Amino acid sequence: MTIFIQPETRQETIGKLNEVKQTFAARGWFPGTSGNLSLKVSSHPLVFAVTASGKDKTKITTEDYLFVGKDSTAVEETTLRPSAETAVHSIIYQTIAEAGAVFHVHTIPNNVISELYGDLGHVLIGNQELIKGLGIWEEGAALAIPVVENYADIPTLAAEIEKVIDSSIPGVLIRNHGIYAWGKNDFEAKRHLEAFEFLFEYQLQLMQAKQSFAISPSQLGIKIV
């Protein structure tokens, strides 16, 4: 399928993705060329810009993105290859109609928490102000963020993700791999991803702090007077 992307659309889309890429790169969220970003430009037919495979995402070049369709292949003449996980972006756009941007990063906190809660199938987080960052405003809201196994076969991985995602929680974790977060546009997807990462770090630090707290004061050399 060949589709003509208007030059203004191309420029605007790549500009937005570059801004997000630079922000995330500065945080070290793309270790070893991992991670990928996409932004939807059309729903019918589905067309989105996605990061090209194997590029150093701390740099900006003219060959960082390509435009692909529902089947994850390029909709225009290009020598670039889409990220290996483009099929996951596509399945998220197909399943969550309101998704307009999908961001994927590998971080230590999202990997550690996905392993801790992997057997349970979801990460449970409650009573945290930043849950509102995910657009969930109920008092005392608790989150159950789905975790799927890290299938090497991307169609299998995409099918597993399709089974567990819905519009109530804008993200899914892949065990010992990373997170996919989305939103209606680049701004919202970025906010969601940042909220998830904050919540994961908070949860991990809280668990550690609770463990240290379980040590008696005398073990820490503190004298109670």
Nearer to Zn ion, 18 or 53 (CB): 53
Q: Which is nearer to Zn ion, 49 or 157 (CB)?
A: 157
> By the 8 A CB rule, do 75 and 46 touch?
no
C-alpha 67: how far from its chain's center?
19
Closest contact distance (angstroms) between CB of 106 and Zn ion is 6
CB of 18 to Zn ion, least distance (A): 20
At closest approach, how far in Å is the CB of 88 from Zn ion? Answer: 8
Task: Give whichever of 118 and 178 is closer to Zn ion, judged by the CB atom.
Answer: 178
Give the shortest CB-107-to-Zn ion separation in angstroms. 11
- Residue 199 CB, nearest approach to Zn ion (Å): 20
Express the helix, strand and coil content of the chain in percent, nearest 5 each. 40, 20, 40
The answer to whether 143 and 126 are in contact (CB under 8 A) is yes
Residues 165-194, mask of contacts with Zn ion (x by CB under 5 A): -------------x----------------
Q: Which is nearer to Zn ion, 100 or 178 (CB)?
A: 178
Q: Are strands 142-148 and 171-174 parallel, antiparallel or unpaired?
A: parallel
Q: How many residues does the chain have?
A: 225
Tokens (6 digits) for 219 = 């073990």
Instruction: Name residue, tokens 């940042």.
Output: 194
Alpha helices by DSSP H, listed for the chain, are: 7-26, 86-95, 108-116, 154-164, 186-213
Closer Cβ to Zn ion, 131 or 179, answer by number: 179
Residue nearest Zn ion by beta-carbon distance: 178
Binding-site ranges for Zn ion (CB under 5 A) = 178
